[in-house]
């Protein structure tokens, strides 16, 4: 291919692009959207985010069973420490441990033979 | 001649005893394995539904626990910081906080492994592959008991933290008025 032919080819491609500018831009935009969506889905799946995504359909009961919304709390870290301070700390800790006790501790034999009503072990 | 007859009788008796013992030991195990496969096949649809429900209730417990652990972590960090700012020794609290963080991290990992094992269990066609289902069920049980162990460890650490804080509270109690005047 001579230099003149190459120049011609580039010129024709340029003209072609100018003519279909909008179409080409749209195709590029759509392709880019597909690629970015694919990347997002891969991150969502492999990153373990899908495991805790309770906005998925079929997880209505899980959404309802969340005991309390997460609250951003600030603590005083500079004032003097008194017996009263420690007492309020212990009380708050008791509240949290009380909340923890309301949840399953995974010790219940939910997958036992008795629960599943099958016999797999002697 | 008589010796060989006696020998044959003893040999037959011996073989009978061997077969009897084998039958007594092996039969229940074989029957049990057949029973498990048969029961799994029969209860397959119910088992699928049960595992799905269990996965949802476990997710709820995991999220609630995770949030409470985060809150406790923030609270204990702030408490230790306040003690440090007041020049109070926080060695034991820092040590317990480290253990707590480590166990919570292991709890999260254990849950992820357990959830993966439940997904693997749910994907097995228990009607056509009951033995594979039972094998995966054993794995899921083992992963679940790992989480239970982590939860128990965390509960123990929090209990220790509480005890140490109560000791500090007693140390900070102002002396009674009668003693102060003496």
ipTM: 0.73
- % pLDDT > 70, chain B: 77
Of residues B39, B60, B78, nearest to A77 (C-beta): B78
- % pLDDT > 70, chain A: 93
pLDDT band (50, 70, 90) for residue B1: very low
- Helix then strand then coil, in percent of chain A rounded to 5, is 60, 0, 40
> Which range (B6-10, B57-61, B170-174) has the least confidence?
B6-10
Of residues B40, B60, B147, nearest to A106 (C-beta): B147
Does position A63 have pLDDT exceeding 90, yes or no? no
pLDDT of residue A120: 64
DSSP B174: P
Mean pLDDT of chain B: 85
Tell me whether residues B32 and A119 touch, CB distance under 8 A.
yes
Identity of the highest mean pLDDT range in A78-82, B159-163, B176-180: B159-163
Tell me whether residues B59 and A62 touch, CB distance under 8 A.
yes
3-state SS, residue B90: coil
Report DSSP letters for A14-69, one per residue.
HHHHHHTHHHHHHHHHHHHHHHHHHHHHHHHHHTTTGGG-TTSTT-HHHHHH--S-
3-state SS, residue B1: coil
Q: How far is CA B152 from CA A94, B58, B143, in A?
A: 16, 16, 14
d(CA B155, CA A48): 26
> Which range (A52-61, B52-61, B62-71, B91-100) has the least confidence?
A52-61
Does position A35 have pLDDT exceeding 90, yes or no? yes
On the 0-12 / 13-18 / 19+ scale of CB atoms within 10 A, A108 is: exposed
pLDDT band (50, 70, 90) for residue B92: very high
The chain B residue lying nearest A67, using CA atoms, is B64
3-state SS, residue B145: helix
Backbone angles phi, psi at B85, to 5 degrees: -65, -20
Does position B104 have pLDDT exceeding 90, yes or no? yes
Residue to test with chain B: of A92, A106, A107, A113, most B Cβ within 10 A: A106
């Amino acid at each position: 291919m001579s230099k003149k032919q190459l120049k011609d080819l580039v010129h024709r491609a340029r003209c072609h692009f100018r003519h279909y500018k909008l179409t080409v831009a749209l195709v590029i935009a759509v392709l880019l959207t597909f690629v970015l969506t694919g990347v997002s889905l891969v991150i969502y799946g492999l990153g373990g985010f899908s495991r805790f995504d309770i906005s998925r359909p079929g997880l209505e009961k899980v959404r309802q069973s969340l005991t309390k919304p997460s609250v951003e709390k600030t603590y005083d870290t500079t004032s003097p420490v008194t017996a009263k301070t420690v007492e309020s700390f212990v009380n708050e800790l008791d509240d949290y441990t009380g909340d923890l006790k309301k949840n399953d501790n995974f010790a219940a034999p939910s997958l036992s033979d008795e629960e599943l009503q099958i016999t797999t072990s002697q | 001649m008589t010796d060989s007859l006696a020998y044959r009788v003893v040999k037959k008796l011996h073989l009978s005893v061997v077969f009897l013992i084998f039958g007594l030991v092996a039969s229940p195990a074989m029957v049990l394995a057949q029973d498990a496969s048969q029961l799994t096949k029969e209860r397959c649809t119910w088992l699928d539904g049960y595992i799905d429900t269990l996965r949802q209730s476990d997710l709820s417990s995991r999220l609630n626990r995770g949030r409470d652990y985060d809150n406790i972590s923030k609270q204990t960090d702030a408490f230790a910081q306040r003690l440090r700012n007041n020049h109070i020794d926080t060695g034991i609290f820092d040590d317990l906080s480290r253990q707590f963080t480590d166990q919570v991290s292991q709890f999260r990992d254990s849950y992820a492994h357990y959830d993966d094992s439940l997904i693997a269990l749910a994907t097995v066609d228990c009607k056509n592959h009951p033995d594979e289902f039972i094998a995966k069920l054993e794995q899921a049980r083992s992963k679940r008991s790992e989480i239970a162990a982590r939860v128990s460890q965390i509960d123990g650490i929090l209990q220790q933290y509480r005890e140490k804080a109560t000791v500090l509270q007693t140390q900070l109690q102002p002396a009674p008025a009668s003693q102060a005047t003496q």
